Amino acid sequence: MKLRLERFAFIAMAVVVVACGGGGVSADQACTDVAQARCGQLQMCSAFLFQRRWPDLATCEVREKLACTNGLAAPKTAQSPSHVDSCATALDQEACTAVLSDTQQPASCEPPAGTGAIGAACGLVGTTNSFCTGGAICVVATGMTSGTCVAPVAEGAACDTVVGPFCEVPAKCVTNGSGTAGTCGLEGTTTCS
């Protein structure tokens, strides 16, 4: 009788865990999925570009997975395994023109805002903005792995393409062609005087 009750309790507990979502994707699996999607799509869409970036598929997947795993483990990140896994699904469905445009990834791949307020310390691991909140960007100096959360600036404000401040989307930092400093503006537009 005792064995039967223990077996019933185990089965009931297993049903509760599955029903309540206790079987979510692990960080390891999510990062494996996104690495396979990123590398597989690039290799399928352009073998030439793939070979310029990576010596082989295995190396690509190992490096992409490491960047993902480090990003999930970073302090102040709001990134989660389920979010990463939804990105992998979106990447698998992306058309080659989008993969090769290298300008915008699927919306589900945009990292969620983190918890670092403007002026807070942040780190750079895999992504640039999953550590800062409110649209702020983690600005990291060349050669460093940590930086500061900086608020983006509005159209017409001074900007710098390397050290920030960076522009609010959709504006871009328009430079005069020499150097990295410029003014936030919409591409293809001019200012009338």
Mean pLDDT calculated for residue range 71-95: 86
What pLDDT, in 10s, does the model give residues 5-63?
343 333 333 333 333 344 589 999 999 999 999 999 999 999 999 999 999 999 999 99
* Cβ–Cβ < 8 Å for 57, 36: no
User: If you write DSSP's letter for every residue of 32-88 in order, what string do you get?
Assistant: HHHHHHHHHHHHHH-HHHHHHH-SSHHHHHHHHHHHHHHHHHSTT----HHHHHHHH
Count of other CB atoms within 10 angstroms of residue 101:
11
**Lowest-pLDDT range of 7-16, 73-82, 92-101, 141-150:** 7-16
The full set of domains in the chain, from first to last, is: 25-109 (no CATH), 121-185 (2.10.80)
- Give CA–CA dist 9/112, Å, rounded: 39
Q: What is the pTM of this model?
A: 0.58
- Written as six digits, the tokens of 32 are 């494996």
SS3 state of residue 89: helix
- Give CA–CA dist 23/20, Å, rounded: 8
pLDDT of residue 50: 92
